[in-house]
């Protein structure tokens, strides 16, 4: 069962922008730039090794804090990050 706080966090109620990123492991060389630049500190180094032989970056955003600011994508030298952004009205349920 979902608690009220979890519902608010997951539904984005009260937030104007929600974001999500995907990281292409084939391109990522694990340089860590996106990890250092994410203002929400949502990106970390993955434990697994990618096909090219690096520990790639991965998103860890359990509380849906990504704003879709795209800073991570802008600093990535290997164009490995795609940003998706959804604009929501404050108070909108879904």
Q: Which residues bind ligand SF4 (CB under 6 A)?
A: 19, 21, 23, 28-34, 38, 40, 42-43, 56-57, 66-72, 75-76, 78, 80-81, 83
Give yes or no for a contact between 78 and 27, defined as CB atoms under 8 angstroms apart: yes
Instruction: Report the C-alpha gap between 14 and 73 in whole angstroms.
Output: 25
Question: Minimum Å distance from CB 87 to ligand SF4?
Answer: 14
Where are the strands (E) in 24-71, listed by range? 43-45, 57-59
- Cβ distance to ligand SF4 smaller for residue 2 or 22: 22
Name the minimum Å distance from CB 18 to ligand SF4.
Answer: 10
């Amino acid at each position: 069962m979902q608690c009220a706080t979890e519902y608010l966090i997951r539904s984005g109620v009260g937030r104007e922008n929600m974001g999500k990123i995907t990281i292409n492991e084939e391109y990522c060389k694990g340089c860590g730039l996106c990890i250092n630049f994410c203002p929400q500190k949502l990106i970390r180094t993955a434990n697994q090794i990618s096909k090219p032989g690096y520990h790639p970056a991965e998103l860890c955003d359990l509380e849906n804090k990504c704003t879709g600011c795209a800073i991570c994508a802008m600093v990535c030298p290997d164009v490995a990050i795609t940003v998706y952004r959804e604009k929501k009205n404050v108070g909108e349920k879904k």
